[in-house]
Amino acid sequence: MSSKPNLENVKRILVVGAGAMGSQIGMVGALAGYQVTIQDISEDMLTKAQAALAERMDRNVSKGRMERTDTDAALGRMNYLTSIQDAASTADFVIEAAVEKLETKRGIFQELDRHAPPHAVLATNSSTLGSSQVADITGRADRVCNMHFFNPALVMKCVEVVRHEQTSQETVDTAMGLAERMGKSPILINREIPGFVANRLLGALRTEALKLYDDGIASFQDIDTAAKTALGHPMGPYELMDLVGIDVVHLIRQAHFEETGDPADLPHPALTELYEAGHYGRKTGQGWYTYSE
Ligand code: 3HC
């Protein structure tokens, strides 16, 4: 097989990382008919991901959104492994969705490059790190790009495919084509910039929302209401921070500041306060809002 990526050769997808993003990205791939492996060093994370996905699929069937035969077949196309070497060896396309730490990602890309077949594209779901920062540790920089999904990945249609200077056209075409076959609406980003496109738009809204609240202009609940009832957003900016995770939002902002060096880009103090208190949003039961489940 040629080492040039080609959408038609993609049969097996590997997703690295069994968190909320990784597991749902894998499920989207399996629902689209691909053989999917989810790899995580934590057996516990894999077990939890498997249970959460089965529960999600049950819900989709009971609500009449999907057929049981389809969800069972998709769940049957999913494998869960702790060994990255084994997982990578049969992958035609890899989407890394591990923790947003550069050193961890570099280690993962090095392993992936060693063990994945030469034609395999190595994509990262990172929203903060351009793929050039991991491409240089591999011997296939031309087959590395970002493929950034949105939370919740089972639902949100957008995928940002971001090329770095050395990403080949075949890699871009394969990533865009794969996103389409996964039922998504990919957009192509021609150059690595902090926040890509969607998070830049969201960041502008979030900055303004935090300022309005901080200045005592309105409660954060009322700001959310305005976003929903005046602008038609499905969620207000504060609800969305809780969904995405206060830790993730904080990290995105910190990474943005580190790229620009502009103190105006530092995480907002109110956000830092929640972050330092460990109030990460829905996943901890407390963020801007309190969650009972
Ligand atoms: N996982 C999977 N599916 C979910 C879900 C989740 N966490 N949350 C909701 N859904 C699906 C379910 O099918 C759910 O129906 P169900 O509860 O009957 O099973 C259906 O969506 C509707 O959910 P809800 O009734 O709870 O509420 P909504 O109608 O408001 O829909 C939403 C939920 C789809 C999350 C919608 O509110 C929305 O689109 N919100 C905005 C999300 C957004 O902006 N995401 C981008 C975040 S930025 C990001 O990801 C970038 C990264 O770099 C940080």
Name the pTM for this structure: 0.93
Q: Tell me what pLDDT residue 3 has.
A: 86
Q: Tell me what pLDDT residue 256 has.
A: 83
> How close is the Cα of 142 to the center of ligand 1, in Å?
34
> How close is the Cα of 133 to the center of ligand 1, in Å?
30
**Closest ligand 1 atom to Cα of 245:** 54
> How close is the Cα of 119 to the center of ligand 1, in Å?
34
Q: What are the DSSP E strand ranges found in 18-70?
A: 35-39
Handedness of CA 181, 143, 116, 154 (dihedral sign): negative
> How close is the Cα of 150 to the center of ligand 1, in Å?
10
What is the residue-averaged pLDDT of the chain?
A: 96
Q: pLDDT tens across 241-276, in order?
A: 999 999 999 998 898 898 889 998 899 999 999 999
Q: What are the DSSP E strand ranges found in 17-143?
A: 35-39, 78-81, 93-96, 121-124
Q: Is the CB of residue 156 below 6 angstroms from any atom belonging to ligand 1? A: yes
Top mutation candidate among 151, 199, 291 for ligand 1, by most atoms within 8 Å of CB:
151
Q: Tell me what pLDDT residue 1 has.
A: 66
> How close is the Cα of 56 to the center of ligand 1, in Å?
12
Q: Is the CB of residue 197 below 6 angstroms from any atom belonging to ligand 1? A: no
Could you give the domains of the chain? 7-189 (3.40.50.720), 198-276 (1.10.1040.50)
Q: Is the CB of residue 199 below 6 angstroms from any atom belonging to ligand 1? A: yes
**Closest ligand 1 atom to Cα of 65:** 13
Q: Tell me what pLDDT residue 260 has.
A: 87
Q: What distance in Å separates the CA atoms of residue 133 and residue 103, rounded to the nearest whole number?
A: 10
> What values do phi and psi take at 121, rounded to 5?
-80, 140
Handedness of CA 38, 44, 47, 49 (dihedral sign): negative
Report DSSP state, residue 7. G
> How close is the Cα of 191 to the center of ligand 1, in Å?
29
Q: Tell me what pLDDT residue 259 has.
A: 83
Closest residue by Cα to atom 8, ligand 1, is: 152
Q: Is the CB of residue 154 below 6 angstroms from any atom belonging to ligand 1? A: yes
Q: pLDDT tens across 178-222, in order?
A: 999 999 999 999 999 988 999 999 999 999 999 999 999 999 999
Q: Is the CB of residue 59 below 6 angstroms from any atom belonging to ligand 1? A: yes
Q: Is the CB of residue 251 below 6 angstroms from any atom belonging to ligand 1? A: no
* Regions in the chain scoring below 70 on pLDDT: 1, 293
Indicate the burial class of 212 (C-beta count within 10 angstroms; 0-12, 13-18, 19 or more).
Answer: middle
Catalytic residues, which ones? 127, 148, 160, 199
Closest residue by Cα to atom 36, ligand 1, is: 234
Which helix (H) or strand (E) segment is 224 a member of? helix 220-229
